[in-house]
């Protein structure tokens, strides 16, 4: 499943910016160059997401009414992953950005968001219902197999005797 398309990037950042970033002649968006940046950004996102979710993600079920079939649905990537992948791909298309540049700041925010997902501090969500994918272990992030166990501390009057 692709997390984002060239059209997603055009919708978010505008066609003039994508043309400027992908085509030296400033004629049109160079789709292969933009798609390569998207593939690299998706691989970057998968390196974080793969810690929590089995890859590839199954996708969110989004209602897609079609004439004659109002109950039709389509599988799409979770919206926050589409946004993150677009931000990372945009960063990859730029060269020599200053640390205070908006594109760089959005890239760093995307990286932090992916890290929070990987650490189980944030989850992918499907606004239309359902789950974006299967968790690697357990029913929630962090429900993995425990390899080490420690006995609980026994704090009683006897164990504390002699401490001031």
The pLDDT tens digits for 103-153 are 999 999 999 999 999 998 999 999 988 889 888 875 554 455 545 555 666
Question: Residue 77: which pLDDT band, with cuts at 50, 70 and 90?
Answer: very high
Spatial separation of the C-alpha atoms in residues 81 and 78, rounded to whole Å? 5
**Token digits of residue 113:** 């968001």
Integer Cα distance of 63 and 126 in angstroms: 12
Give the pLDDT band (50/70/90) at residue 64. confident
Q: Is it the case that residue 14 has pLDDT exceeding 60? A: yes
> Predicted confidence band at 15 (pLDDT cuts at 50, 70, 90)?
very high
Q: What is the pLDDT of residue 138?
A: 56
Spell out the long-range contacts of 21-24 with Cβ–Cβ below 8 A and sequence spacing 24 or more: 21/90, 21/93, 21/94, 22/93
At 40 the pLDDT is 97
Residue 100 Cα to chain centre, angstroms: 23
Indicate whether 37 pLDDT > 90: yes
What percent of the chain stands above pLDDT 90?
60
Q: Which residue has the higher pLDDT, 73 or 85?
A: 85
The partner residues of 73 in beta bridges, in order of sequence, read: 63
Whole-number average pLDDT of the chain:
87
Distant-in-sequence, close-in-space partners of 105: CB < 8 Å, separation ≥ 6: none
User: pLDDT: is 152 or 35 the higher one?
Assistant: 35
> Which residues neighbour 77 within 8 Å (Cβ) at sequence distance 6 or greater?
1, 2, 3, 4, 57, 59, 60, 85, 132
């Amino acid at each position: 499943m692709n997390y984002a398309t060239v059209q997603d990037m055009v919708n978010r950042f505008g066609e003039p910016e994508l043309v400027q970033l992908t085509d030296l002649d400033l004629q049109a968006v160079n789709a292969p160059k933009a798609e390569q940046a998207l593939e690299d950004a998706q691989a970057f996102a998968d390196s974080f997401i793969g810690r929590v979710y089995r890859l590839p993600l199954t996708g969110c079920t989004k209602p897609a009414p079609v004439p004659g079939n109002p109950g039709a649905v389509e599988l799409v990537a979770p919206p926050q992953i589409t946004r993150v992948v677009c931000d990372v791909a945009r960063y990859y298309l730029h060269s020599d950005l200053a640390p205070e540049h908006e594109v760089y700041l959005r890239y760093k925010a995307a990286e932090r968001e992916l890290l929070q997902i990987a650490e189980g501090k944030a989850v992918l969500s499907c606004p239309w219902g359902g789950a974006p994918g299967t968790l690697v272990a357990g029913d929630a992030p962090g429900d993995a197999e425990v390899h080490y166990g420690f006995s609980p501390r026994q704090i009683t009057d006897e164990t504390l005797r002699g401490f001031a």
